[in-house]
Amino acid sequence: MSFINYSSREINCKIVYYGPGLCGKTTNLQYIYNKTNPEAKGKMISLATETERTLFFDFLPLSLGEIRGFKTRFHLYTVPGQVFYDASRKLILKGADGVIFVADSQDTRREANIESVENLVHNLAAHGVGLDKLPYVIQYNKRDLPEIASVEDLRAELNTLGVPDYEASAKMGKGVFETLKGLSKLVLTKLAREG
Amino acid sequence: MIQQLVMYEEELQQINRICEVLHRDSNARAVLVIDKNGQAIASAGDVQELDVTSLSSLTAGNVAATGGIASLLAEKEFAGQFHEGEKTNVHISIIGARVILVVLFDERSSLGLVRLRVRKASVELVVVLDVLVKKSQSGSQPSVFSEITDDDIDNLFND
C-alpha cells in the first residue's frame, strides 16, 4: 500500500521479492545495497537464522529521486523462501505495491519455482489481490550457472501472464537493477493511472 | 486495487501535536506513529539518534507477526505489546486498526503512566485518522499523480 505524504512531499511504495528457497532474493538486495550511494539508501536489515537463511524478512529502504517535486522512496522486502515459513510470507506480502518473482534457473529447481508461483497466487488471494492486477515482473536468476533451463522453457512454465521478465545473475550483479527498474516503472505507472 | 494512505499537512500537524503532548505527559524518550506497513508517519522527542526507518519496518513486522499469532489463536488482535529492556522499554499499540503508536521510555517514566497517556492519545489519533480516511476517499483533494506523465517516470530512471 503506497503512502503519499503531501506534507513532506514523499511517495513511499513497498516492493516484495518472492521466490523459492535459495533462489537469490537476499542476494538481489545485497547487491542493490552495495552498489547504491550512501545518501540514497538506509540500513539493510536481515532477520536471518544462524546459517544466514532468511527467517522473517530482509528490508532495504531506497530513494529513487524526485518526480514533480515528490521524493520517491521504495521499501524493498524479501520473504523467506523455505516452504514452512508460509505464514511469514503471507504477512510480508500484505500491502505490497509490486512483486518481483525471483526464479532459480537451475534444472533441479523447476518444480520449486512452479510451487512458489502457485504459493504467491494463493497468498495474494488471501489478501484479496489477483496477480494479474498487481505490478509484477519475473527475474530468471543464476544464468551464470551450468545445467540451467532455457529462458524459453522457464517463460513457458512461469510467465503465463506475459509480464516483463529479466535474465540475471544476482551474485555478479547482472540484471539486478534492470529488474528493479522494470518493476518500479510499473508501480509508478499504476499509481499515476489510478490517481 | 491499491489502497493508499494519504497524509495532508493539516492532519500531520495534528498528529505531530498529539505525539508531542504524549511525549511530554508520559515523560517518554520518544514517540513514533507508524503505518501498519512500516512507513514512519510522525515522531516526537529524542529521535535524532534513532534509525526511525528501520525501527518502523521492524515494529510493523513485529505487529504483523503478533497479529498472525492472534488469528491462529482465534483472537481478533492483540491491541498492545510491551518490551522491557535494561535501559529502554517499548510500548506498542495499534490505533484504529490502521497505525501503530510506539512509546520508548526509560526509568524516568513507568508502564502505568505510559499506558494512561497512550489511552488519551489513542482517542485523539482515531479522530484524526477518521478525517484522513474520509478526506482521501472523497477525492476532494487534487492528486499528485494526476500530473505525473510517463515521461516523468522514464526520466526518473534515465541516469
pLDDT reading at B157 higher than 80: no
Q: Which of residues 55-84 of A touch B (CB under 8 A)?
A: 56-57, 59, 61, 64-68, 70, 72, 75
Cβ pair A7:B7 closer than 8 A: yes
The 8 Å CB, 24+ separation contacts for A109-116 are: A109/A20, A109/A23, A110/A149, A110/A154, A110/A157, A112/A20, A112/A21, A112/A23, A113/A19, A113/A20, A113/A23, A113/A154, A113/A157, A113/A158, A114/A157, A114/A158, A115/A20, A115/A83, A116/A18, A116/A19, A116/A20, A116/A23, A116/A81
Residues B63-73 have pLDDT tens digits of 999 999 999 99
Q: Min CA distance, B105 vs chain A (Å)?
A: 24
Report which secondary-structure segment, H or E, holds B119. Answer: helix B111-138
In chain A, which residues have their Cβ closer than 8 Å to the Cβ of B152? 67-68
The ipTM assigned to this model is 0.86
Smallest Cα distance from A192 to chain B, Å: 5
Residues of chain B found within 8 Å of residue A35, distances taken between Cβ atoms: none
Q: What is the CATH number of the domain that holds A178?
A: 3.40.50.300
Answer whether A192 sits within 8 Å of B12, measured CB to CB: no
In a domain, B2, yes or no: no
Count of domains for chain A: 1
Asked whether residue B75 is domain-assigned, the answer is: yes
In a domain, B113, yes or no: yes
| B145 assigned to some structural domain | no
CB contact under 8 A, B38 and A75: yes
- CATH classification at residue B118: 3.30.450.30
* Least CB–CB distance from A65: residue in B12, B41, B156: B156
Please indicate, yes or no, if residue B37 is contained in any of the structural domains: yes
* Residue entry with cell 539493510: A44
The reply to whether A194 falls in a domain is no
What's the rounded mean pLDDT across residues A129-149? 97
Residue numbers of the domain that contains B63: 9-138
B31-88 pLDDT tens trace:
999 999 899 999 999 999 999 999 999 999 999 999 999 999 999 888 889 999 999 9
